[in-house]
């Protein structure tokens, strides 16, 4: 599911940046460690850790060769950044600015020095927003507005910037196997999609769509109703790139096979390769 390379000559060692909603890092630790060992991504953005910072399996992941920064929460939410050694994580920001009363752990950001200059990466877990017509949907839209304002400020730095995560937004009908089934869902309502477009309009590009515009590319399959065997998926996990990152984009791909593992997450990893050599 990898799209065509945007560079005529791909670099020898592009930097691999992966986003993955693991849906409980403790339950999915075996899958995560196997993925780190086999795929060796340079940076990993995790969402839905469902544990406090102290309970995060830091030792196991450090032994796999990664440095770790977490922003956890008991039983819910939680995000993390992993960088393959010797890459460091600097200027770590925990929490999205704009609402001092927001206690949900949904945003972590860090600066990663590379041979080609600084790379800034964020791991984002946007609110689901259901049920519609409740404060949960209001919070989703407010979070998207705050993210857009923060992204605008980051964009002004003209850095290589990747905003990665589970956005809980289906951008277009082509991003759902059965769009009609999601018509009244917070993930696909016009307000959610418009807010996502407003974020893109700040100068960001959807990495996967920059490489591959085919329908049928999904990142999530519900556990219920045989969604996975019937391929009734949706695409809600995205990596948004600043212009400086887009200029260095080599490829984007979905690691779909991981959904077929025993006791998998309902999301699969999505990976971009950037020429930062």
pLDDT at residue 16 in the model: 97
Q: pTM for the complete prediction?
A: 0.94
Find where tokens 């799209």 sit: 3
Q: Output the pLDDT for position 175.
A: 98
15-274 to CATH, choices 3.30.1160.10, 3.60.10.10, 3.10.20.90, 2.60.40.1730: 3.60.10.10
Percent of the chain with pLDDT over 90: 93
Candidates 42, 66, 107, 166; catalytic one: 166
Task: Report residue 153 as tokens.
Answer: 């400020």
pLDDT on residue 115: 76
pLDDT over threshold 90, residue 9: no
- pLDDT average, residue stretch 194-215: 97
Q: Which helix (H) or strand (E) holds 163?
A: strand 160-166
Question: What is the predicted pLDDT for the residue at 12?
Answer: 54
**pLDDT at position 277:** 73
| 262 flagged as catalytic | no
Longest Cα separation, the chain:
50
Catalytic-labelled residue, pool 66, 125, 167, 218: 125
Does the pLDDT of residue 3 top 60, yes or no?
no
pLDDT tens digits, 94-146: 999 999 999 999 999 999 998 778 999 999 999 999 999 999 999 999 999 99
Instruction: Parse the chain into domains and list their residue ranges.
Output: 15-274
Mean pLDDT score, 182-187:
98
Nearest to 264 by CA among 30, 11, 62, 6: 30
Average per-residue pLDDT in the chain? Answer: 95
- 18-70 residue pLDDT tens: 999 999 999 999 999 999 999 999 999 999 999 999 999 999 999 999 999 99
Whether residue 165 contacts residue 125, with contact meaning beta carbons closer than 8 Å, is answered with yes
Residue 7: which pLDDT band, with cuts at 50, 70 and 90? very low
Question: What are the pLDDT digits (tens) for 242-267?
Answer: 999 999 999 999 999 999 999 999 99
107 classed as catalytic: no
Query: Is 206 within 8 Å of 171 (Cβ atoms)?
Result: yes
């Amino acid at each position: 599911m990898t799209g065509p390379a945007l560079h005529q000559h791909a670099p020898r060692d592009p930097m691999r940046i992966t986003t993955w909603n693991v849906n409980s890092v403790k339950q999915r630790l075996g899958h995560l460690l196997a993925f780190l060992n086999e795929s060796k991504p340079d940076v990993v953005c995790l969402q839905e850790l469902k544990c406090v910072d102290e309970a995060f399996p830091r030792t196991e992941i450090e032994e796999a060769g990664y440095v770790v920064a977490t922003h956890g929460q008991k039983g819910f939410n939680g995000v993390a950044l992993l960088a393959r050694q010797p890459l460091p994580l600097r200027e770590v920001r925990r929490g999205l600015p704009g609402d001092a009363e927001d206690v949900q752990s949904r945003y972590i950001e860090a600066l990663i020095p590379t041979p080609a200059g600084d790379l800034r990466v964020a791991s984002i877990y946007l609110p689901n927003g259901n049920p519609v017509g409740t404060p949960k949907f209001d919070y989703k839209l407010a979070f998207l507005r705050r993210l857009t304002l923060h992204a605008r400020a980051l964009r002004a730095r003209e850095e290589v910037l990747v905003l990665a995560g589970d956005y809980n937004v289906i951008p277009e009908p082509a991003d759902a196997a059965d769009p009609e089934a999601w018509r009244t869902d917070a993930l696909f309502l016009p307000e959610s999609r418009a807010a996502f477009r407003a974020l893109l309009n700040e100068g960001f590009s959807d990495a996967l769509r920059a490489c591959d515009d085919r329908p049928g590319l999904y990142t999530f399959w519900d556990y219920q109703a045989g969604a996975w065997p019937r391929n009734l998926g949706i695409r809600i996990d995205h990596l948004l790139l600043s212009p400086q990152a887009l200029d260095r984009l080599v490829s984007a791909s979905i690691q779909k096979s991981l959904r077929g593992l025993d006791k998998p997450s309902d999301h699969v990893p999505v990976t971009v390769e950037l020429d930062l050599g």
